[in-house]
Amino acid sequence: MSTSQYYPQPVATGLQYPAPMSYTSQPRMPYGGSAPYDTAYGASYGNSSYSDFRWVQGEAGAKAFTMPPNSRALLLDSESPVFYIKVTDMSGMPQPLRIFDYTERVATASLPAVDESNYVTRNEFNDLRKMIDDLTAPNPSSNTERRA
pLDDT tens for each residue of 83-115: 999 999 999 899 999 999 988 888 877 778 888
For residue 58, what are the domain limits? 49-104
Q: What is the mean pLDDT of the chain?
A: 74
Would residue 10 count as lying in a domain? no
**Distance between CA 137 and CA 60 in Å, rounded?**
80
- Cα Dmax for the chain: 128
Establish if 74 belongs to a structural domain: yes
> What pLDDT does residue 88 have?
94
Q: 94 and 87 in contact (C-beta within 8 Å)?
A: yes
Structural domain includes residue 99? yes
Domain assignment of residue 146, yes or no: no
| Residue 95 falls inside a structural domain | yes
Q: How many structural domains are present in the chain?
A: 1
Rg (CA), the chain: 41
Instruction: Indicate the residue type of 13.
Output: T
* pTM score of the predicted model: 0.40
In sequence order, the 6+-apart residues with CB closer than 8 A to the CB of 119 are: none
How far is the C-alpha of 115 from the C-alpha of 130, rounded, in Å? 26
User: Is 56 part of any domain?
Assistant: yes
